């Protein structure tokens, strides 16, 4: 138990060390990072410009279609902004009072204006097998989390830019 905690702490400290070097090299910018929960291994580290938007997408385990949860980084806070669901399959649906459901014009729907702050600017995700294909979609890029960390728990977090003191 102690060894696992020490590895996790070491991994987080290593991940934290990446941020200052990146901030100095490329100007101060918030960073989207994906780290393994078990060991703190940094899997993804991307700069975010201004009010950045991206989605976490995956294939529904029963129906197989893509589901998207879309996030916004704004004013130092990570927000769940909207979600796209092509069907009312198991585990999906709109909850009254949580955003506005609108048709996507193709038989599915968007839940827009969810606008929920993500606690601690981080979310924990259990990455699915390759068939589930958990992925981050950002600036036209697809980062396949199921290739990087299938069946592992990861943190998807935004680290604010360093402030000059």
Lowest mean pLDDT among 9-13, 68-72, 110-114, 128-132: 9-13
Whether residue 16 lies inside any domain: the answer is yes
Domain count, the chain: 1
DSSP string, 63-122: T--EEEEEEEEETTEEEEEEEEESS--TT--PPTTSSEEEE-SSS-EEEE---EEPGGGE
pTM, to two decimals: 0.74
With respect to residue 165, please indicate whether it lies within any of the assigned structural domains. no
Confidence of residue 17 (pLDDT cuts 50, 70, 90): very low
The reply to whether 164 falls in a domain is: no
149 within some domain: yes
Quote the percentage of the chain above a pLDDT of 90.
50
The CA-CA-CA angle for residues 68, 82, 76, to 5°, reads 110
- What range does the domain containing 51 cover? 2-159
């Amino acid at each position: 138990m102690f060894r696992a905690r020490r590895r996790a702490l070491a991994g987080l400290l290593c991940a934290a060390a990446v941020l200052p070097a990146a901030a100095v090299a490329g100007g101060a910018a918030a960073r989207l990072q994906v780290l393994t929960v078990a060991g703190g291994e940094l899997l993804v580290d991307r700069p975010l410009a201004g009010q950045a938007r991206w989605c976490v997408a995956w294939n529904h385990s029963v129906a197989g279609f893509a589901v998207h949860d879309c996030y916004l980084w704004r004013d130092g806070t990570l927000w769940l902004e909207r979600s796209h669901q092509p069907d009312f399959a198991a585990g999906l649906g709109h909850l009254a009072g949580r955003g506005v459901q609108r048709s996507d014009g193709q038989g599915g729907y968007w839940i827009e204006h969810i606008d929920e702050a993500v606690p601690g600017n981080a979310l924990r995700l259990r990455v699915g097998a390759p068939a589930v294909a958990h992925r981050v979609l950002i600036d036209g890029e697809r980062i396949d989390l199921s290739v990087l960390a299938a069946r592992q728990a990861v943190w998807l977090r935004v680290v604010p830019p360093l402030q000059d003191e």
